[in-house]
A and B are shown apart, each in its own frame.
Chain A
Amino acid sequence: MNRIWCEREADVVRSLRTGSLSAELRDHVLSCVVCAEARGAAQVMLHTASLLRVEDGLPAAALVWSHARARKRESDLKRATRPLIVMRVLSVAYVVLSAAWFLRYLWRSGFMELPAGWNVLGNETTCFAVALAVLAIVIAAGYLLHDSKRSGAGLPST
């Protein structure tokens, strides 16, 4: 089976980068397929790197800094308003669900019998509303906890 690495490879590459390949390393390269390939590949990369003069076109640090600061402010603002958006969505969902439940109850009991069944409606509505409110609070609290953990973690991009 082919060897996929050699312990002298790092030395060979270091020598090529500094431009001083010793006679001993040169002999080793002649007898080692891995290091011979590494030398060929390293020459390609180092030659390409030598053709690039990035100093000429390096963006100014001040420009990158101001751009990054603006992005950070934008990101902080987005992070701060995210819980409000979630709460708004939850409140809309709460109202819609409550209204749907109420309309369903009216449909089933009939409009004419409504006064007679008002107590039942009151009890059930209260229980349902309380359950929904608790659910909404639990979801919101869970989200806020998750968001605060994530925003402090400083994870790199995907």
Chain B
Amino acid sequence: MELSTLVVGGGFGCAVVFGWVAGRTNFCTMGALSDIVNMGHWGRMRMWLLAIAVAVAGTTALAHFGLADLSQAVARRPTLPWLSLLLGGLVFGVGMTLAGGCANKNLLRLGAGSVRSLVVLVILAISSYMTLKGLFGAARAAWLDPIAVDLKHLGFADQGLGTLTAGWLGLDPRASAAGVAAVVVSALLAFVFKDARFRANRAQVLGGATLGALVATGWYVTGHLGYGENPETLETIYHATNSRTIESMSFVAPLAFGLELLMLWTDKSLHVTFGIATVLGVVAGSAAHALASGSFRWEGFASLADLRNQLVGALLMGFGGVTALGCTVGQGLTGISTLAVGSLLAVAGIVAGSVATLKFLLWRAENE
């Protein structure tokens, strides 16, 4: 089997499981924040944190045993564009709250029959593409990305917490990465499992662990199975990834690349990639769950206000997701699994933007 086919098939398979599990457990990062702000309920947040803990443990283990070179991941690059990460995250957080869910949630909804989410995803993909290569991208590249810290100049090979700790304390980088991951994972697991109600919720426990494991599996697929010789150039490359390096689950830029592929299908330099396959896989997994559970139902826009909120949210998510180098999954699970400082900044921005918007919605409802 060609490596490209293996990577695309592996990405699709992981994403089908991701879509099924996320649909079954109602996994939603915006919903997790809304539950906390509106009702003080931490169940879905604990599920997200459990997924992060498992993703960090699995991803660190892959790197530790030489099965994936995380230093090649986009999230770990030695240049830290902190303003883009924070601002992009903030804008994404506002957008996902206005749209009633992030890119992942809209893929899940589409699988469950929401035509409204299809429209949201198309606008999100256009906005994402505009931020990668178009009008928004010019502004991003001119005004935001240059505001960055060059960690290489400061003597660090990448922005992983393990690498930074090793540099500061003069430790072996491999041991340092394992040590930092052990501390982070232990702290997360202690918080997640201290709640008896969460411990008793088998679906959320299994769901969170599975989603985290799928992120680590994605790194393995692109970074180990898909890392090999290109028969045409004899170079060793990462096959079938848009970034041409190691990748795992992420949805905002892959939506743009999917749209590009559809629009420029006759351009033979474009192919189905791991990212595009994961977008399709999540929809397929969610659809399979919705059909099997009898929860599939067609859904459209209900009002002009609904349409307005969804479209503005989609536009903001496309810009914010690309600028922050990922969404709630791309940074909130995948990026953070590499323990990159930039991913922590992006997630902080997403949470701040979403919580601020949730509090505004609450304030507006109480003052109507």
Query: A and B, one complex?
Result: no
Binding site for A on B (CB under 8 A): none
Binding site for B on A (CB under 8 A): none
